[in-house]
Amino acid sequence: MFPRLTGYPRALALSIVFHLVVIAAILLNFHLSGRPNLVKQSELAKTVKAEIVDQQQLDAQINRKQKEQEAKRKSELEKQKKEKQAKAREEEKKRKQVEEKKRKLAQEKKKQEEAKRIAEAKTLAEQKKKQQEALKKQQEVKKQEELKKQVAAEKQKKLAEEKRKREEKIAREAEQKRLEAERLKQEADKRRLAEEDKKRRQQELNEKLKAEESQRRLKSLREAYILAIKRRIESKWRQPQGVTEMPDCEVRVIQGPGGFILDVRVGTCPGGSKIYR
């Protein structure tokens, strides 16, 4: 029961005050009499009855108050519930409006983005197409230039090949002429050298023969000259008496230019040179 009373503080306070007054009256009566007086049964019954009646009235009031407060609390709760529901509905409505607005904005944004994407894709496709056309044109121009370069290179190569062949032909002919000229020159040099060698050998032979002839003539002249000198000396030579055989003596003849005898001297001779003069 106490938990129920705590829900009604006013009734609880009245009950507590009433009991305190009863207890105070009993204590005061006990103090004044000095000893406890026996209470009559009729008075005790009245007191108990009064207390019981008062307690029942108090409980009835408490129950009534509790019911009123419970009804008020329920009404308040119902009111709060309805207000909360109304607020929730209002908030839900606002939330839906906000979401709808957001959805429309998102849809509009998506639509704009899609339109922008389509426009960008179209622009990109046009740019790509232009780039491809420009690249194709550039490749075609490059191909034409490469073809021209190739034709020019082939022509240049052909001209260079023809020039190389002409130069090789000229070089071969020049080399053949040079070799022929060198061969002829070598043959001419060979003939000239052979002729010169023949002349030189003939000249050497002639000079040798001439020298030999000159030597023979000089030798003959020298021998004749020596013989003449010898005969002249022998004609002037005096042989000592008693000498049967002439000894070999050395005679030195000094000859001047032109074959003239300048002096005659006797060298070594057995017995002395004065004996034979």
Q: Identify the pLDDT of residue 212.
A: 86
d(CA 77, CA 69): 12
Last residue of a domain, one of 60, 91, 116: 116
Distance set, CA 197 to CA 192, 194, 211 (Å):
8, 5, 20
User: Which of 60, 85, 116 represents a domain boundary (last residue)?
Assistant: 116
- Residue 92 inside a domain? The answer is yes
Q: What single-letter DSSP state applies at residue 242?
A: T
**Distant-in-sequence, close-in-space partners of 256: CB < 8 Å, separation ≥ 6:** 262
Q: Classify residue 173: in a domain, yes or no.
A: no
Residue 242 lies in a domain: no
Domain boundary among 116, 137, 172: 116
Residue 219 resides in a domain:
no
Q: Distance between CA 10 and CA 5 in Å, rounded? A: 9
| Residue 101 covered by a domain | yes
Q: What is the pTM of this model?
A: 0.28
Q: Is residue 21 part of a domain?
A: yes
Among 68, 51, 52, 63, which Cα is nearest to 4's?
63
For residue 58, is it within any domain?
Answer: yes
**CA separation for the pair 266, 77 (Å, rounded):** 195
Q: What is the pLDDT of residue 239?
A: 67
Query: 58 near 10, Cβ under 8 Å?
Result: no
Query: Are 63 and 6 within 8 A, CB to CB?
Result: no
pLDDT along the chain (277 residues), means of 10: 53 69 66 46 48 67 82 85 87 88 87 88 89 90 90 91 90 89 88 88 87 85 83 75 69 76 75 52
Whether 86 maps to a domain, the answer reads: yes
Number of domains the chain contains: 2
Q: Which domain holds residue 59?
A: 2-116
Residue 40: the pLDDT is 45
